[in-house]
């Protein structure tokens, strides 16, 4: 659809959804996440020609959690290329993000890089090939967005470490199968920091814009990954970005996207835009209840799904 009035569309979406009943709940299994104000709601859309549209709490930092798994995957693909796929699959899991059952059946090879187990393997790869992987990951994100204020929240990382029983179970199981090469503590330290990255909706939308622009970031005018890798990352987001609700998100919104238990979701429309939403209350599958509705309404109103 040509000449969409994105701001008018976002204002309509906000008016429709701001005050609806939200049966979701803020994630509590990571203690630090309990402190967030559950009434927050923001959205930011940026087009590939750098036009910005937004409403609500779109300029407030929040914990992007699993959304950052796309960024660690991108960095690993840049460094070691397709060898990533020797240690992690590209299939939807159809199970919860922190599930252990599949990993036992499939001999320590995670289904995809966006479930916790897969992201932990990607962290192991980064720990393997970088001197200071935590610093290098941030450096990569800051350089590809031009936003130097993007950083970790050490309290969040510490909070996850204290209660990360399932992640410890996942990494131990994979270590036993030989799919973790480094010390478990080192790998999990990387993983917990990865999940603690904070961004605003605006920063998140800008960070993911390269995936809407064939791998070139229109923000800093630089190629982040090749068009071929871009295709792969987008298809993985489409199939695996919402765990056992990936089908529902594709069905309702029709864009590649990624969610996090902080209540954020980012979605991209190749050739058009990147859009980030934040609303902390989660549905039963661990995805933002209102965030899913906001994005469904955005693609319905703008008739701009990829399907
Ligand atoms: O490891 C965890 O469980 C969290 N740091 C990340 C989980 C997450 O965001 C899953 N997404 N919906």
Summarize pLDDT for 213-232 with one digit per residue, the tens: 999 999 999 999 999 999 99
Q: Is the CB of 167 under 6 A from ligand 1?
A: yes
For residue 184, give both structure tokens. 């478990």
Nearest CA to ligand 1 atom 7: 66
Q: Map out the domains of the chain as residue ranges.
A: 6-302
What are the b/e assignments for 124-146, b being 16+ CB within 10 Å?
A: bbbbeebeebbeebbebbbebbe
Taking residues 246-260, report their average pLDDT.
96
pTM: 0.97
According to the model, what pLDDT value does residue 19 have?
87
Q: Is the dihedral of CA 189, 175, 136, 112 positive or negative?
A: negative
Q: Are 187 and 119 in contact (CB under 8 A)?
A: no
**Ligand 1 center from residue 53 Cα (angstroms):** 28
Tens digit of each residue's pLDDT (9 = 90 or more) over 144-185: 999 999 999 999 999 999 999 999 999 999 999 999 999 999
What is the predicted pLDDT for the residue at 1? Answer: 47
- At 59-96, the pLDDT tens digits run 999 999 999 999 999 999 999 999 999 999 999 998 89
> For domain 6-302, which CATH number applies: 3.40.710.10, 3.10.310.10, 2.60.120.380, 3.40.50.150?
3.40.710.10
CB 54 within 8 A of CB 45: yes
Centre of ligand 1 to C-alpha 26, Å, is 13
3 state SS of 178: coil
Residue 245 dihedral angles phi and psi, to the nearest 5°: -125, 20
């Amino acid at each position: 659809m040509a000449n969409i009035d994105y701001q008018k569309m976002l204002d309509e979406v906000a008016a429709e959804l701001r005050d609806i009943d939200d049966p979701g709940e803020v994630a509590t299994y990571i203690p630090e996440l309990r402190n967030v104000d559950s009434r927050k709601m923001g959205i930011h859309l940026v087009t590939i020609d750098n036009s910005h549209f937004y409403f609500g709490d779109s300029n407030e930092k929040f914990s992007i959690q699993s959304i950052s798994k796309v960024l660690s995957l991108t960095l690993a693909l840049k460094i070691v290329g397709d060898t990533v796929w020797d240690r992690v699959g590209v299939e939807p899991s159809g199970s919860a993000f922190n599930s252990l059952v599949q990993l036992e059946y499939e001999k320590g090879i995670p289904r995809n890089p966006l479930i916790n187990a897969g992201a932990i393997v990607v962290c192991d790869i980064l720990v393997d090939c970088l001197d200071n992987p935590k610093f290098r990951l941030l450096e990569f994100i800051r350089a590809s967005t031009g936003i130097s204020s993007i950083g970790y929240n050490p309290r969040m990382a510490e909070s996850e470490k204290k209660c990360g029983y399932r992640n410890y179970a996942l990494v131990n199981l994979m270590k036993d199968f030989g799919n973790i090469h480094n010390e478990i503590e080192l790998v999990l330290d990387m993983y917990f920091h990865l999940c603690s990255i904070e961004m605003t909706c605006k920063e998140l939308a800008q960070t993911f814009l390269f995936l809407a622009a064939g791998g070139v970031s229109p923000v800093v005018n630089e190629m982040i990954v090749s068009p071929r890798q871009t295709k792969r990352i987008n298809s993985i987001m489409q199939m695996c970005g919402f765990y056992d609700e990936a089908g529902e998100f594709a069905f309702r919104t029709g864009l590649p996207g990624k969610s996090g238990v902080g209540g954020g979701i980012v979605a991209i429309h190749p050739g058009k835009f990147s859009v980030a939403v934040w609303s902390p209350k989660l549905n039963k599958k661990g995805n933002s209840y209102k965030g899913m509705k906001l994005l469904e309404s955005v693609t319905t109103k703008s008739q701009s799904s990829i399907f």
